Structure 1
């Protein structure tokens, strides 16, 4: 898949809450669902051509399948309520990936990411990445629960505000906080984590 197509698909997935909000306001439900199903179908078709690990393709495929499922559910129900559950299922998927790496893999998701920059991670770094993976699991649980609350509430403005802005800000704060903590630990111990 071309770099431009990848960027467009990432933007569509990232902007999903805004796309749903404005799509419901300015498009017919049928047009919005057709657009979302087309995006999911395109993503599923293009996954096999990507040069990612099998796990990366499976995760991307799962996200596309979730998008197709929520759009199909809304189509079958004849309303937009199903679309509000996409962020919940994305958080559940991410939680599953992170928990699976904690329980069943030799390296956690965060350790694999850390080893891209530092292949010879010391034992203290491995322990640190394991703790960070656990923190992300907690984040996905809390974020998914709040996303579910906004979906059940049904207030589209509140749902869009949380899932399209606040959740991204919280994720950014967690990333920045972890980076600051890691920098402080490195300076104080003179080690790499």
Structure 2
């Protein structure tokens, strides 16, 4: 059952900008707030980490604002909230090691050598920069861009940028591993 909730959360989160965009003009924002409430509830049900509970409360607050004022802006702020939460998680892990990327790496390679620990710390820093940039752009598009630009950025371009970052990091990681395997 937990896997179903996690999968439902992932699908709703990925599709969120497109669903909001396609619904604007067809449904009042207060009805679209139900989707945001669903995301908040699924997040709360699928986590034990306090930061994600805070995110669920934040999403619930945005949904309440969208419902109360029947405005789309709170719905459009959700991607910025997600980036802020991810930034907090990754940045906090830099202050209180192991870093977020090191934790992920240790799932498949429990005995990381020192160079890999340093590398995962650097990758965590890069992701922090990404979350700052992506969150800022999500915020800018929510406040000052058209609904089409908001949906294009948050529903496509942000995911493309994440994919490029993942692919680039994978290529760099292969080179770093190779350099240390022969050194």
Normalised to the residue count of structure 1, the TM-score between the two structures is 0.86
- Of 73-82 and 115-124, deviating more is 73-82
Secondary structure of the equivalent of 2:134?
helix
Secondary structure of the equivalent of 2:64?
helix
Pair 1:84-2:76 in alignment = yes
Pair 1:153-2:153 in alignment = no
Match of 2:9? 9
1:119 maps to which of 98, 110, 122: 110
State the alpha-carbon separation in 1 of the partners of residues 128 and 42 from structure 2.
30
Offset at 1:177?
0.3
Offset at 1:18?
0.9
Q: Per-residue CA shift, 1:10-56, capped at 9, x if unaligned?
A: 10111111111112232232321234324423543x33xx6xxx43x
Aligned residues: 182
Output the aligned Cα RMSD.
1.8
State the alpha-carbon separation in 2 of the partners of residues 95 and 147 from structure 1.
14
Match of 1:40? 40
Q: Per-residue CA shift, 1:102-150, capped at 9, x if unaligned?
A: 01x2300001111111111111111101100100010001111111110
Pair 1:63-2:46 in alignment = no
Normalised to the residue count of structure 2, the TM-score between the two structures is 0.90
Q: Per-residue CA shift, 1:42-100, capped at 9, x if unaligned?
A: 543x33xx6xxx43xx3443333222111111222221111111111111111111111
- Of 71-80 and 161-170, deviating more is 71-80
Match of 1:28? 28
CA contact (8 A) 1:81 1:154 kept: no
State the alpha-carbon separation in 2 of the partners of residues 34 and 112 from structure 1.
34
Structure 2, unaligned stretches of length 5 or more? none
Q: 1:98 to 1:5 in 2, by over 3 A?
A: closer
Matches within 5 A, 1:165-184: 165-184=156-175
State the alpha-carbon separation in 2 of the partners of residues 35 and 122 from structure 1.
44
Pair 1:133-2:124 in alignment = yes
